[in-house]
Amino acid sequence: MQKADALLDIYQKRGARGLPLGRVYRHMFDHELFLRAYGKIYRNFGAMTKSSTEETVDGMCLEKIHGIIALLKLDKYQWTPVRRIEIPKINGRMRPLGLPTWSGKLVQEVMRTLLDAYYEPTFSDLSHGFREHRGCHSALLQIRKTWKATFGGFRLKRIPDGMGVVDFWDVLAWNKPASKRSEVVQRLFAGKCELCNMEDVPLNVHHIRKLADLDRPGRRPKADWESRMSAMKRKTLVVCEDCHRIIHAGHYDGPTL
């Protein structure tokens, strides 16, 4: 990840100094940026939703990333039309929503990562909406630290900590940056099937929407791979291509857990 980190650091410095960018398209050829994008968006509920094709996050592998980069290098990558659906609004009306393919989501996230690194330093410190590691809790923390309350021109004294004042440092724990390489990417690079324990073979990442689906009342008994996911408390399972194909066929017969 060092190359990707160095590249994003250059983008941030150029953005802070107001310098123009060049060769942004060529910088999208870095597979580490795609791994970073995958680690960021694979948890999203919509990652398992089909678009205009059958492709979802299920079966994600390094070969897919290399294939996208190869098309980008040849200027042959084409966006797949999104699937348009309508979802209900609070007022009872409907609004349109476009569902891109999984490959399209990956490419979009890589583009967002590069442009976000460049433009982020130019944003106001008072802006907390739709920004990395910022949100309503960081806004409340800033209010607590910098805003001074007055009444009739007189400063109000803050009550001592522990007497009704919320410590937003603990609340902000969810918003802290994750490790450079996400846990599922580290497991993918371990090079070992988590079912049959085969090593040095092409690996895919099997995904499910949520773990609760494995414990749904009235459901058939768990298969071995489902028991493994429940034991790991993970919605992902790194498996070899043969195990992934057999899982989808519905008759995995690997080692007893």
pLDDT score recorded for residue 80: 94
CB 62 within 8 A of CB 184: no
Task: Read off the pTM.
Answer: 0.78
- The amino acid sitting at 52 is S
Tens-digit pLDDT profile for residues 79-115:
999 999 999 999 999 999 999 999 999 999 999 999 9
The whole-angstrom separation of Cα 108 and Cα 120 is 17
pLDDT score recorded for residue 215: 80
Residue 164: is its pLDDT beyond 60?
no
Q: Which residue has the higher pLDDT, 218 or 7?
A: 7
pLDDT score recorded for residue 244: 92
Q: How confident is the model over 158-184, as a mean pLDDT?
A: 52
Angle at 170 between CA 168 and CA 174, to 5 degrees: 105
Max mean pLDDT range (176-185, 197-206, 219-228) = 197-206
Closest listed residue to residue 62, CA positions, set 207, 204, 242, 237: 204
pLDDT score recorded for residue 169: 43
Which residues lie below 8 Å from residue 212, measured CB to CB, with a gap of 6+? none
pLDDT score recorded for residue 172: 44
Residue 180: is its pLDDT beyond 70?
no
pLDDT score recorded for residue 175: 43
Tens-digit pLDDT profile for residues 60-87:
999 999 999 999 999 999 999 999 999 9
The whole-angstrom separation of Cα 254 and Cα 257 is 9
pLDDT score recorded for residue 32: 95
Q: How confident is the model over 31-40, as a mean pLDDT?
A: 95
pLDDT score recorded for residue 212: 85
Residue 49: is its pLDDT beyond 70?
yes
Tens-digit pLDDT profile for residues 205-241:
999 988 888 887 777 788 888 889 999 999 999 999 9
Residue 253: is its pLDDT beyond 50?
no
Residue 170: is its pLDDT beyond 50?
no
pLDDT score recorded for residue 88: 93
SS3 (DSSP) at 219: coil
Q: How many CB atoms lie within 10 A of CB 92?
A: 6
The whole-angstrom separation of Cα 211 and Cα 230 is 7
Q: How far, in whole angstroms, is CA 156 from its chain's centroid?
A: 43
Greatest pairwise CA separation for the chain in angstroms:
76
CB 64 within 8 A of CB 103: yes
| Residue 164 in tokens | 């009704």
pLDDT score recorded for residue 60: 94
